[in-house]
């Protein structure tokens, strides 16, 4: 039975590599990090632990006035609306991401973010 553990590890590794949310998140990594500690010097705030967090609350990041005043808390609904059209939910936001029209894609990214801390 000694082969069981390596096999389980292999399966876990494969599952991680195939995480569709992680793959979809690649379109965000030019601006955002989910690393721990956060990667510095990116144009967007860190998204580790963003789930359940008040909008514009990462210490030290220079958010736009509209996002700081938005009063939003990031959950499934608000994240979905933001990714579907950042400018529509928060007019004047600095996040220059074109609307993500694919609802399934948004869900995969949101699920992925929910798993990051």
Inter-residue contact 50 to 67 (CB < 8 Å): no
Nearest distance in Å: CB 15, ligand HEC: 21
Total chain residues near ligand HEC (CB under 6 A): 26
Q: Which of 76, 102, 98, 68 is nearest to 85 (CA)?
A: 98
**Residue choice 33, 38, 89, 93 for contact with ligand HEC (CB under 6 A):** 93
Region binding ligand HEC by CB under 6 A among candidate stretches 1-9, 11-19, 33-41, 47-55: 47-55
How open is the CA angle 76-81-48, to the nearest 5 degrees?
Answer: 50
Instruction: Give the residues across from 54 on adjacent strands.
Output: 73
Binding of ligand HEC at residue 84 (CB under 6 A)? no
Phi, psi of 83 (to 5 degrees): -70, -30
- Interacting residues toward ligand HEC by CB under 6 A: 27-28, 30-32, 43-45, 47, 50, 55-56, 58, 63-64, 67, 74, 79, 82-83, 93-97, 109
């Amino acid at each position: 039975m000694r082969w069981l553990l390596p096999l389980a590890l292999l399966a876990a590794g494969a599952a991680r590599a195939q995480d569709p949310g992680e793959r979809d998140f690649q379109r965000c990594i030019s601006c955002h990090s989910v690393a721990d500690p956060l990667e510095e010097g990116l144009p967007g705030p860190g998204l580790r632990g963003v789930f359940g967090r008040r909008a514009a609350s990462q210490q030290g990041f220079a958010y736009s006035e509209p996002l700081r005043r938005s009063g939003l808390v990031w959950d499934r609904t608000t994240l979905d609306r933001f990714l579907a059209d950042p400018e529509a939910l928060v007019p004047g936001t600095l996040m220059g991401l074109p609307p993500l029209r694919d609802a399934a894609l948004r869900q995969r990214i949101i699920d992925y973010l929910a798993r990051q801390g």
